[in-house]
Amino acid sequence: MVKSQYTEENIRSLDWKEHIRLRPGMYIGKLGDGSSPDDGIYILLKEIIDNSIDEFVMGAGKTIEIRINDKEVKVRDYGRGIPLKKVVDVVSIMNTGGKYDSRAFKKAVGLNGVGAKAVNALSSFFKVESFRDNKMKYAEFEVGVLKTDPKITASTKRKGTKVSFIPDEEIFKKFKYRNEYVIRMLKSYVYLNPGLTIDFNGEKFYSENGLKDLLEENIAIEDMVYPLIHLKGEDIEIALTHSKTQYSEEYHSFVNGQNTTQGGTHQSAFRESIVKTIREYYGKNYEASDIRKSIVSAISIKVMEPIFESQTKTKLGSTDMGGGMPTVRSYINDFIKTYLDNYLHKNSDTAEKLQAKIMQAERERKDLKGIRKLAKERAKKANLHNKKLRDCRVHLGDMKKERRLESTLFITEGDSASGSITKSRDVNTQAVFSLRGKPLNSYAMSKKIVYENEEFNLLQAALNIEEGMEDLRYNNIVIATDADVDGMHIRLLLLTFFLQFFPELIKQGHLYILETPLFRVRNKTETIYCYSQEERISAVEKLKPKPEITRFKGLGEISPDEFKHFIGNDIRLDPVMLDKSVSIEELLSFYMGKNTPDRQEFIIDNLKVELDKVED
């Protein structure tokens, strides 16, 4: 056995930018290309905006201007401005910033002095400008290396800070900012900071009603069991209702204006306190799951020097509110016990509707009790004795924490397709679930069908979402079907299943469609994969004369050696998004209901449009 050498030559010291570029996941989570809302390019944007938000929280600057032009990002606030002699330091020296001094930033989001440095190191171009005291100072960097550092000069511009950057394409391959994800982020900021205006590419976002506006953005009024309950106190705000159609729980949680997408101590305390208060109000020992079933809610708290479980600040770890205040758990419990109880006493109609919803959930749970038990046993047996689920290693040991955001489940149909993906995948982070034939059209069916139908039951078990999204096993759920009529139909049936029973998977940005090439165009020296007719035509022109053209109909026709590129670094994912202007019920009723003539007319009209495009 050959022993590896371990000498003084193996010991290296990395400077701040080298370490960030070598281990970007420690600072911004996963990388990605912008197809997912938690991809790194959005974390870069968030880190810069967080600094501007902290200025607003401290009473400095009511407007933030954001411009994204192709790949360049500009963020301008009208806060106090970085102290001019420290402009270079705060974006290039680790653990440097004003947030270590609680007199300057009492309840800030960023406390580690890392965020802006990470953006700097991971950007091919980075410029910071500070305006204050009728003077200005700027500095320019490339991948964290200082390139321009002129002296302080006079200025007539309004005080504040402006940061411009371009994410480095060596780190973020073929990235693209999606306005839908950016807007979702910006709306969360204004909901959490009433009085703040964010101007994004000329469109302004503003909120007067905080979390009430947030929930109205996420649930239609006609789907609410009772009007939104909106309660505010010092350092805490909550809003909640119950959905008429949604099955599982939905939470939006925030700390100091930061969207904690993975929850934390405050969200756990909130869920616990809701149950305790409602039990005491009605004098009934209702099951916690019955009380929380179909809840749509939001909580925001402000904490002194919060502790997050990672630099991306998606999960709160703090147990204390800070500043001599009680624990997070007791603070939230006391607030909800007092304010929610008072609200229910004053609004008897809401209290009656809430209790009716809880009792309905109780009846449904009891009706499903026997079949759920049998379904769990069946799922357990199926997982042991067949190969429907080929899992990945991300759930093992320390890898779970390090690469959870990369965990992906491909849902595909048939042995050949699942075989190609299984042989091509990254076994550390990518799992495969193989369907047998076409799924059932689940539109207008009850939750009972999820347990009675073997495919749905096993898929639910694989995702681990029976009790809600908190224990979701895969961050990315990817529908991978053939590029033919049958494949499109399977895709539609799966979308119906998720919309009908687990719409929060889509709302939270977990569901995608895998894009695979329709054509391979090649000659003896070059191969081009084409994802559309336009790309095929362009490739044929490039590879003149007469190249070989292959039309891929099914995923199984693509060899594993080729397929690994399409689910590896060059993966193309099309996120499934919901248009709030159309309710889920309206969507499913039109596409999956019994209105055959209307749907047939819609298909014919859109087919004409597509044919016209091809002819053009």
Q: In angstroms, what CA-CA distances link 601 with 33, 402, 596, 609?
A: 37, 50, 9, 13
Which positions ≥6 away from 343 have C-beta within 8 Å? 229, 231, 350
Given this model, what pLDDT does residue 607 score? 65
Given this model, what pLDDT does residue 100 score? 41
Preceding peptide of 597 cis, ω within 30°: no
Q: Distance (Å, rounded) from C-alpha 417 to C-alpha 516?
A: 12
Given this model, what pLDDT does residue 2 score? 53
Given this model, what pLDDT does residue 321 score? 74
Give tens-digit pLDDT for 75-119.
999 999 999 999 999 998 875 555 544 443 445 555 445 789 999
Given this model, what pLDDT does residue 213 score? 94
Q: Which residues of the chain have pLDDT under 50?
A: 1, 100-106, 111-112, 384-385, 610-611, 613-616
Given this model, what pLDDT does residue 358 score? 97
Given this model, what pLDDT does residue 214 score? 94
Picking from 467, 455, 531, the residue whose alpha carbon sits closest to that of residue 493 is: 455
Buried b (16+ CB within 10 A) or exposed e, 164-196: bbbbbeebbeebebbeebbebbbbbbbbbbeeb
Given this model, what pLDDT does residue 7 score? 63
Given this model, what pLDDT does residue 8 score? 59
Give tens-digit pLDDT for 502-524.
988 998 889 999 998 889 999 98
- Mapped onto helix, strand or coil, the DSSP state of residue 24 is coil
Given this model, what pLDDT does residue 312 score? 66
Buried b (16+ CB within 10 A) or exposed e, 464-489: ebbebbeebbbbbbbbbbbbeeebee
Asked if 213 and 188 touch (Cβ cutoff 8 Å), the reply is: no
Sign (positive/negative) of CA torsion 463, 464, 466, 472? negative
